Amino acid sequence: MFSEWAICQKNSLIFYNFFSESSLSHQTVSNILKRLDSLVNQFLKKKIGDDYSFLIVDAKYIKISPQNKRKKPVLFCIGIREDLTYEALYFKVASSENEINYTNFFFDLKEKGLKGNNLKMLICDGKKAQEAAFLFVYPDKNIQMCCATMQEKP
């Protein structure tokens, strides 16, 4: 949970810098940031339905704190239902994109309610760690490399 808190703190700093140049009071900015932290925590704690047919999983590398110049991957998942409606399901800061971190990420999804009964396919960028972790947690499911990644690879 500390990693998610660090993201919130980084966002708080970004928002603070933005709002400090405006006419908003420090108390107003503080109230906005508390509400934002609350919304992020609600998002991370919410249960996930088991009605998703497809999952898109990827990572975005960001700097977690101004003191640490090294970027860390934020693993994230978007769920797509049969009717093609979609929703951001979960994110988690990881130390790297290794199989252990992806396995923990998929177990988190399962614990939050995504049992995989309707799940047909994972769409990802083809990293072996993603694929192995997904099949470990959701065996007998299909994996498809995303089209953008397929076009990038020679």
- For residue 64, which phi and psi values (nearest 5 degrees)? -85, -35
> Domain containing 118: what range?
54-152
Same domain, 39 and 59: no
Give me the sheet containing 142-145, strands edge to edge: 86-93, 68-80, 54-65, 121-124, 142-145
Model pLDDT, residue 126: 86
- Of 4-13, 102-111, 121-130, the range with the lowest mean pLDDT is 4-13
For the cut 80, the answer to whether the pLDDT of residue 10 exceeds it is no
Model pLDDT, residue 128: 94
Q: What is the mean pLDDT of the chain?
A: 82
Same domain, 141 and 94: yes
Q: How confident is the model at residue 62 (pLDDT cuts 50, 70, 90)?
A: confident
Model pLDDT, residue 22: 54
Same domain, 132 and 61: yes
Report residue 16 CA to chain centroid gap. Answer: 23
Same domain, 63 and 118: yes
**β-pairing, 68-80 with 54-65?**
antiparallel
For the cut 80, the answer to whether the pLDDT of residue 147 exceeds it is no
Amino acid identity of residue 122, one-letter, is L
Supply the CATH number for residue 112's domain. 3.30.420.10
Same domain, 62 and 114: yes
Model pLDDT, residue 74: 92
Structural domains counted in the chain: 2
Same domain, 28 and 71: no
Same domain, 100 and 58: yes
Please state the rounded mean pLDDT for residues 127-145. Answer: 93
Same domain, 133 and 62: yes
Model pLDDT, residue 15: 52
Same domain, 142 and 71: yes
What is the value of pTM for the model shown?
A: 0.74
Same domain, 31 and 61: no
